[in-house]
């Protein structure tokens, strides 16, 4: 089977374009492993020779960032009769049709419109179709390039940029709905994402933490080879008795950011990703976000900041993480006093508490107890 795929934004990359194209091809190869006979870029289009189940190929290609659309195509010679034969292989009986032609090969003797009209007339004659250029049931596309290519269904891809083209970021992953979606959105912008999860177990437990691993696995279907770093919550928890309860949540957030920063600086991540959505919960007010992230050297990205919960849930369903996110899990957030958290924490007070409990030392201890999973 031949699949034609078209990239979108990569096309605007000027002299960097070949690098983006190479990365996209290599990501496609990875996602299509076992199904790909060949893959190449020609005239800004991607040509894939695919074997195996078409439905499987389709669902895999729909998970590759950087593909704007793709189509299962028939390839034939550039004679009108050959093109007609390829078109006639489609089942078009009784449909409203439109034919469109694109000539990449400008030496082709007919104008695009002439070829479209000729093929359209033959379709009408053979299948009894009506021509409906404005709102066709089937749009028959013909591309004249090195050969001729015919397809009838343009399948929308994810768009975005190839994973890996924008660098690496570290996502703070909770057991909830939002953070895996945040990671996915950064992947859409070309980041490869690894994850840092603070858990409520004494040490990482593959069985208890399998939901977290499964979430990472689900996001991994969209590319990259995400790593999961896990850290026990106990180092922080041991000190929280000293923290005023209404400040506990925001101090915990400060701890999460500092730990992520420590990992980012050590391992070369260009940013920290968090699933915050402004105003969604007490820790996500402007004041609390500001107080929690104050003093960080590494930028924090919050791709969900302006989305509401319904939109985030819809995306989680689309990406496939939702059903995992709602499985029961003992998140350490439930251990942080959340009964009456402040909505307007003062940065100076968070600084003071951080000093009092020796946050730097706690972060260092946690950093040393990180375990790494693929
Ligand atoms: P989520 O649905 O992602 O859990 P939430 O609405 O429950 O988000 P919070 O619990 O305030 O909101 O968490 C906000 C963000 O903080 C999360 O999206 C995630 O990035 C980070 N975070 C929360 N808990 C943890 C944790 N245990 N380990 C790592 N990061 C965490
Ligand atoms: Mg949460």
Q: Ligand 1, closest atom to CA 284?
A: 11
Q: Evaluate whether residue 12 is within a structural domain.
A: yes
Q: Are residues 207 and 251 in the same domain?
A: yes
Q: Which residue in 265, 243, 253, 269 sits closest to 355, CA to CA?
A: 243
Do 199 and 92 share a domain, yes or no?
no
Give yes or no for residue 335 CB within 6 A of ligand 1.
no
Question: Which ligand 1 atom sits nearest the alpha carbon of residue 198?
Answer: 28
Q: Does 140 lie in the same domain as 9?
A: yes
The verdict on the CB of residue 285 being under 6 Å from ligand 1 is no
| 191 plus 75 within the same structural domain | no
Task: Please work out whether the CB of residue 194 comes within 6 Å of at least one atom of ligand 1.
Answer: no
Pocket probe for ligand 1: among 169, 170, 171, 172, the residue whose CB has the most ligand atoms within 8 Å is 172
Same domain, 181 and 242: yes
**pLDDT at position 193:** 98
Residues 149 and 173 in one domain: no
Residues 348 and 242 in one domain: yes
Each residue's pLDDT expressed in tens, for the chain with a length of 374 residues: 999 999 988 777 778 888 999 999 999 999 999 999 999 999 889 999 999 999 999 999 999 999 999 999 999 999 999 999 999 998 899 999 999 999 999 999 999 999 999 999 999 999 999 999 999 999 999 999 999 999 999 999 999 999 999 999 999 999 999 999 999 999 999 999 999 999 999 999 999 999 999 999 999 999 999 999 999 999 898 888 888 889 999 999 999 999 999 999 999 999 999 999 998 887 789 999 999 999 999 999 999 999 999 999 999 999 999 999 999 998 877 667 566 778 999 999 999 999 999 999 999 999 999 999 97
Structural domains counted in the chain: 2
Owning domain of residue 359:
168-373
In a domain, 162, yes or no: no
Same domain for 129 and 232, yes or no, is: no
Residue 286, domain member (yes or no): yes
Domain of 229, CATH number, reads 3.40.50.620
Is the CB–ligand 1 distance for residue 172 below 6 Å?
Answer: yes
The closest ligand to the CA of 263 turns out to be 1
User: Do 143 and 10 have their domain in common?
Assistant: yes
From the CA of 200, the nearest ligand is 1
Binding site membership of 293 for ligand 1 (Cβ less than 6 Å): no
Residue whose CA is at the smallest distance from ligand 1 atom 23 = 174
CB atoms within 10 A of CB 124: 14
State residue 10's pLDDT score: 78
Ligand 1 atom closest to 177 (CA) = 2
- Which ligand is closest to the CA of 305, given by its number? 1
Pseudo-torsion of CA 98, 61, 53, 2, nearest 10°? Answer: 50
Same structural domain, 366 and 219 = yes
**Does the beta carbon of 198 lie inside 6 Å of ligand 1?**
yes
Alpha-carbon distance of 359 to 357, in angstroms, equals: 6
Domain boundary (98, 128, 156) is at 156
**Which ligand is closest in space to the CA of residue 198?**
1
The per-residue pLDDT for 338 is: 62
Grouping H, G, I as helix, E, B as strand and the rest as coil, residue 114 is: helix
Q: How far apart are CA 252 and CA 147, in angstroms?
A: 61
Clarify whether residues 354 and 276 are in a common domain: yes
Domain contains 15: yes
Q: Which atom of ligand 1 is nearest to the CA of 179?
A: 3
Chain center to CA of 168: 13
State the CATH number of the domain containing residue 82.
Answer: 3.30.2130.30
Residue 163 domain-assigned? no
Contact present, 338 and 283 (Cβ < 8 Å): no
Specify whether 231 is located in the same domain as 352: yes
- How confident is the model at residue 64, as a pLDDT? 98
Give yes or no for residue 260 CB within 6 A of ligand 1: no
Distance 242 CA to ligand 1 centre (A): 23
Q: Could you tell me if residue 253 is inside a domain?
A: yes
Boundary-marking domain end, from 132, 156, 180:
156
230 lines ligand 1 (CB under 6 A): no
Q: 356 C-alpha to center of ligand 1: Å?
A: 24
245 vs 259: CA distance, rounded Å: 21
Q: What is the 3-state secondary structure (H, E, C) of 48-94?
A: EEECCCHHHHHHHHCCCCCEEEEEEEEEECCCHHHHHHHHHCCCCCC
Instruction: Report the distance separating Cα 363 and Cα 206, nearest Å.
Output: 23
235-244: long-range contacts (C-beta < 8 A, 24 or more apart)?
235/362, 235/365, 235/366, 235/369, 236/198, 236/362, 236/366, 237/332, 237/335, 239/357, 239/358, 239/362, 240/336, 240/337, 240/357, 242/353, 242/356, 242/357, 243/353, 243/357, 244/353
């Amino acid at each position: 089977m031949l699949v034609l795929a078209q990239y979108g934004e990569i096309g605007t990359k000027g002299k960097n374009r070949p690098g983006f194209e190479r990365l996209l091809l290599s990501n496609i190869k990875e996602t299509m492993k076992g199904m790909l006979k060949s893959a190449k870029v020609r005239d800004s289009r991607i040509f894939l020779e695919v074997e195996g189940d078409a439905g499987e190929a389709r669902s895999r290609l729909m998970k590759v960032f950087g593909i704007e659309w793709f189509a299962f195509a028939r390839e034939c010679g550039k004679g009108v009769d050959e093109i007609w034969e390829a078109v006639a292989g489609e089942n078009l009986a009784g449909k409203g049709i439109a034919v469109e032609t694109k000539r990449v090969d400008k030496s082709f003797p007919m104008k695009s419109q002439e070829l479209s009209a000729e093929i359209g007339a033959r379709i009408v004659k053979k299948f009894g179709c009506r021509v409906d250029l404005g709102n066709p049931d089937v749009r028959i596309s013909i591309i004249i390039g090195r050969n001729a290519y015919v397809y009838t269904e343009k399948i929308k891809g994810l768009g975005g940029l190839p994973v890996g083209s924008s660098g690496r970021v570290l996502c703070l992953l909770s057991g909830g709905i939002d953070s895996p979606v945040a990671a996915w959105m950064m992947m859409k912008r070309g980041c490869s994402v690894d994850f840092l999860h603070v858990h409520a177990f004494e040490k990482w437990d593959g069985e208890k933490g399998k939901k977290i691993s499964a979430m990472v696995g689900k996001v991994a279907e969209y590319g990259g080879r995400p790593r999961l770093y896990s850290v026990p919550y106990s180092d922080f928890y041991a000190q929280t008795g000293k923290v005023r309860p209404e400040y506990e949540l925001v101090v915990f957030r400060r701890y999460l950011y500092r730990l992520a920063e420590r990992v980012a600086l050590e391992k070369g991540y260009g940013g920290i990703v968090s699933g915050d959505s402004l105003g969604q919960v007490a820790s996500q007010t402007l004041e609390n976000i500001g107080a929690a992230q104050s003093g960080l050297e590494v930028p924090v990205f919050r791709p969900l900041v302006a989305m509401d919960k319904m939109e985030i849930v819809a995306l989680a369903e689309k990406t496939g993480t939702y059903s995992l996110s709602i499985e029961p899990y003992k998140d350490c957030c439930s251990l942080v006093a959340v009964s009456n958290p402040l909505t307007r924490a003062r940065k100076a007070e968070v600084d003071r508490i951080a000093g009092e409990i020796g946050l730097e030392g706690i972060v260092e201890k946690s950093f040393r107890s990180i375990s790494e999973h693929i």
